[in-house]
Chain A
Amino acid sequence: MNALKVKIWRGTESGKFQDYEVPRQESQTVLDVVTYVQRRLDPSLAYRFACRVGVCGSCAMTVNGVSRWTCRTHVSKVAGDSALEIAPLRNLPVVRDLVTDMAEFFDKWAKARGRFTGNKTRKDDFARVEPASKQRRAVDAAIECIGCGVCYSSCEVVTWKPDYLGPAALSRAWTLVNDVRDVAQKERLAAVAGDAGCHACHTQMNCTERCPKHISPTAGIAGLKRAVLAATLKGEL
């Protein structure tokens, strides 16, 4: 069977690509390739994965210059008959080889108040949310985010402005803004407003283009921009 030429980033922020040859197989994913290298060719290679089926969001990497979830990316889709170049995600510090430090990415979710804040207890009745309501549909649009970091890695604004909250955190905030049970809306809108928040988005839509779950963080961010402006004009911010 044909051999696939693979270049994999080795090192931290400084380092270099190292060449490997991996046998081609049918339905082979990029994660299969990395796993083959680590198990058969070079056990010192560091990479991160867990579920291998597109649920956990751990295995995102930069493949031939594009951020992707590697467990659901077929080699045939991205390599053609040429070669693969696999690097860590962009816009995040590299711990080693293909492993990035995701702390900043998730810290920004917390900064954007990406955590549900309710005021009901177990003694209260269930909240009734109409499935077809506008707000519930807005929640549905982004609820399937797996936190893989592909959008954050693809965002040019994060590159230019490292304190920008980024598409994933803002998309999460928009999901909660539309959650009728949440009681921390003013605080959330204040947290996502301004130069480091939703108003920094240029609507370039890299996040929407790259999201493996076909979520549009850009649409959520646009919603936040309008909601924050409305709250500001009403004097609530």
Chain B
Amino acid sequence: MTPRLKRIWRRTMKSGKSLRSRDLGSSRAGEQRSVRPENIVWIFGTGRSGSTWLGSMMEGLDGYAMWNEPLVGNLFGNFYYFRAGDRIGKAGKHFILGERYKEMWLGPMRDLVLGGAAARFPEVTWSGYLVIKEPNGSIGSPLLMEALPESRMIFLIRDPRDVVASSMDARSGGSWLKERRDDQKRRVEPEKNPNAYARMRANSYVEQIEKTRQAYRAHGGRKVMVRYEDLRADTLKTMKRIYSALEIPVDEAELARSVEKNSWENIPEEEKGEGKFHRKAKPGGWREDLTPEQVEIVERVAGSLLRELYPVRSTA
């Protein structure tokens, strides 16, 4: 072994032990955990990309539960990467999320997730699975996957133009999200300044997807990348591919039933349409929804991701 390899080896062993050994430590502390870290399936990406639909299909299977947006990724990621970005490493010894002590704070982060999961989902057995739908916490996905390296990961993506179009609709007057968050002060309203909103949403798309991609690349465990468009085109086939890549055994007939139950066609007509949570579910719908200027804004902001993930350029 070369000295360099020895150093890597020691670091790897140290990291693996101290994080995983927290389970033993926590058991000593009397925590009763029902969810195994390796049976946690994270869904990261961005909002309005079909994560609720995907999560519901997975939750529909026997032995599964879904944790709907704990926002733990947002809690840590937003602070670590943005609000305190310039402090990382620089503050050295003292800053609570300092690089030198990452090993120490990843442990409590892991405890926070596992403890929270056990408290909320006591019904999930040792052999059961917990799907954590966390698109809006994707900013912290690299930290979470580092804290829970045994967990499985789904990187869910959707064309940013459709994501922006869907978000604009969701935040317009009378829509489901606008009503839910009417008390919030938002700096940019899509109705007052649609182009500024498109730019802001495209920027948050890039932030979230880039962080998810970073986590996906670094994650040494089981993982799969899923395009919303593939899920729409052939849901059952894509779901089977997900389970296969994640190495989770699944009963095909049960999966088919869950896919059917959660299909677009089975959503009542009155729950679908403009301003509703279930809007169009139509890949490429942005061509009807966005102005050419807005398309250009999104393509400019999310250009490199678009070229990588959706190589056919806009014709708007």
A-B complex is real = no
Residues on A lying within 8 angstroms of B by beta carbon are none
